[in-house]
Amino acid sequence: MYYNFSEYIEDRYYSKFNKENLLEKYNKKTNEHMSKILNEFSYIFHYILNTRPCYYWNEKVRKCTTEKLNRIINNNNIKIDSEILHYFFIAYDTYQQITEVMQDMSSLKLEEKLKNRLYRLPTYISITEGCLTNLYKVIVYIIDQTVEKDYKSQNKLNSFCEILKNNDCDLIVKDVDVNIRNAINHGSVLITNNGTVLNFYYMEGKQEKRLKIYYFDFELLINKLYDVRSGILLGITQVLNCNINILDRKNINNNKYLNFRILALKLSLPNIICDEINDESIDNSQLNILTSINEVDRIFLIQTAIELIIQVYKNYPEYKQYHVNIENERLLICFIRLTKEDILGFINNHEKLNEYLKKAIDRGDVQVPSPEQVKNEELKEIKYYKYPTYVDDEIKILMVEDISIEERKRIKANLFVGDVEDKLEIVKRIEKAINWLKNIDNGFTNTKVNIKQGHMEADSVYLYVYHNDIRDGFGLNRDNKNCICFVDYNIDGNTTLKNGGMFKSNWIKFYHERINNMEIAWVEPKYITKQKKFGRNETCWCGSGLKYKNCHGK
């Protein structure tokens, strides 16, 4: 029996997730006897227990963290203030981001030299600096409430490690190598033996030392540190979940960001993640609820958005409107926005929910498109797909992009032809580039928009043609001496690109010519085939519609 509609909505929302199964799984894996999991922490438990490589957490570290913090809490008057909670959230957010990087990059096929620079070294730093340091702060700042020493004045990783060692927490710091961290931060890493050996140089006293590690051992060290981090995060989360009364509510309530963050975490379920809540709008009258939802069913998304809005409204009823933005790998733009009047209508007369929803749809405040049909196994391949480049003695083709639409396959690229000045030679090289580009397969491009894609010949190819590939030599404008022209090629000879995709006032400044199926906008007039002489008052040959004297006859 429900006392009101809001209570019913909340119960229906949380019925999407079985917390009892999660609790049973956690207790079984840890030999703990937790009696319940709070909504505020259920998603963290779920994430670590069910996400690879999170579920490889170091159990000894988790147990050490839990037991140490419980002893402190049971024997002291401990409060978790906004500062401690802030560091906890930084550590957790960083943890999620690093996890995504490891999921994507650890199995990516790269040469070892590149993988060391691109993945292993940055990941080690992210684990130690972004996550471990902040988790250590949480523990050290709690310990600080029990000692006379001022631990809060410390802000370096090495200092936190020493403090934790001196407080019976050796296990949670023993795998951290500060020398490796310092070597990376100070740029003192030399990669040798074709990427298989990493040499870390650091100072010990006044003497430079070197630590030599093979890449596979370094990756093992990264994994070990990651598992330590998982164990600490899980241990702290368990302590907070079982001791929610130690939160300093008075202190935390004065911090809008933390209150939004707590509510966002409370509203996160395994397949409905509330990433952020904020009121960043022009007059701060709109509350934004940013979510990531894997489901693509339109009815499910709309119902879920309404459930989220009603729960957020219950906590923050002072805003004029509430906007749910849904991020999904298969949906382009997806959002639902309701006014305060809509929400009050739902709550006070929920039988007319469809009427209020129709008003929002008519206002354009409901955008839930049909999903792009992409298989799950294709998502990662699409995410990291890189178009090939083409280089020979005559041309170089770089920055290939797919800009296709539903009815037309369209490819864009930069073409470099070298120091060639002869027009016929330039055109020959342009045609050579088009012949290569128009046959590119664009089947690994988009997960959110329905476009024409596949092995078929491109309908359009857009080329920005330059002499040489130099850092400051890009840009289609009359002042760029490295730029030669813009080419709009169409298989049927008919362009669908108005004014070359730019403002007409800029487009008419170029010198236009048609060669076969190509519309070419030259930067300089010397490439234009000689035209008949135009009278000053005749319409200009470029198609601008202006008189010749006011256009290219200036």
Give the closest residue to 474 by CA, choosing from 422, 410, 398. Answer: 398
Q: How far apart are CA 129 and CA 137, in angstroms?
A: 11
Q: How far apart are CA 495 and CA 493, in angstroms?
A: 7
Instruction: Give the residue-averaged pLDDT of 498-525.
Output: 90
Check residues 5 and 102 and name the one with the higher pLDDT. 102
Check residues 496 and 22 and name the one with the higher pLDDT. 22
Residue type, 418: G
pLDDT of 236 above 60:
yes
pLDDT of 503 above 70:
yes
Query: In the chain, where are the structural domains located?
Result: 18-251, 271-367, 376-550
User: Which residues in 328-471 belong to E strands, given as ranges?
Assistant: 335-339, 366-367, 390-391, 396-402, 410-416, 460-466
Check residues 502 and 225 and name the one with the higher pLDDT. 225
Q: What pLDDT was estimated at residue 263? A: 97
The segment with the largest mean pLDDT, out of 122-126, 346-350, 512-516, is: 122-126
pLDDT of 340 above 90:
yes
* pLDDT, tens only, 193-205: 999 999 999 988 8
What's the pLDDT band for 505 if we cut at 50, 70, 90? confident
Query: Helix or strand or coil: residue 405?
Result: coil
Query: Helix or strand or coil: residue 277?
Result: strand
CATH no. of 376-550: 3.10.310
Check residues 445 and 117 and name the one with the higher pLDDT. 117
Q: What pLDDT was estimated at residue 361? A: 87
* pLDDT, tens only, 286-295: 999 999 998 8
What's the pLDDT band for 554 if we cut at 50, 70, 90? low
Q: What pLDDT was estimated at residue 371? A: 66
Beta bridge partners of 200: 189, 211
What's the pLDDT band for 5 if we cut at 50, 70, 90? confident
pLDDT of 1 above 50:
no
What is the rounded average pLDDT for all residues in the chain?
Answer: 89
Quote the radius of gyration of the chain (alpha carbons, Å).
30
Contact between 127 and 157 under an 8 Å Cβ cutoff? The reply is no
* pLDDT, tens only, 129-186: 989 999 999 999 999 999 988 998 888 899 999 999 999 999 999 899 999 999 999 9
- Looking up tokens 């008949």, which residue turns up? 532
Q: What pLDDT was estimated at residue 275? A: 95
pLDDT of 25 above 70:
yes
* pLDDT, tens only, 244-281: 999 999 999 999 999 999 999 999 999 999 999 999 98
Contact between 172 and 235 under an 8 Å Cβ cutoff? The reply is no
pLDDT of 538 above 80:
no
pLDDT of 381 above 50:
yes
What's the pLDDT band for 377 if we cut at 50, 70, 90? very low
Q: What pLDDT was estimated at residue 284? A: 87
Tokens of 113: 């030299």
Side-chain-side CA neighbours of residue 524 (13 Å): 13
Tokens of 177: 């190598």
Q: How far apart are CA 8 and CA 347, in angstroms?
A: 10
Q: How far apart are CA 338 and CA 326, in angstroms?
A: 14
Percentage of the chain surpassing pLDDT 70?
Answer: 92
Q: What pLDDT was estimated at residue 529? A: 66
pLDDT of 297 above 50:
yes
Check residues 359 and 86 and name the one with the higher pLDDT. 86
Q: What pLDDT was estimated at residue 126? A: 95
Instruction: Give the residue-averaged pLDDT of 63-78.
Output: 94
pLDDT of 528 above 70:
yes
Q: 420-452 burial, b if ≥16 CB within 10 A, otherwise e?
A: eeebeebbebbbbbbebbbebebebbbbbbebe
Give the closest residue to 546 by CA, choosing from 502, 498, 508. Answer: 508
pLDDT of 348 above 90:
no
Q: How far apart are CA 100 and CA 52, in angstroms?
A: 10
Q: What pLDDT was estimated at residue 406? A: 82
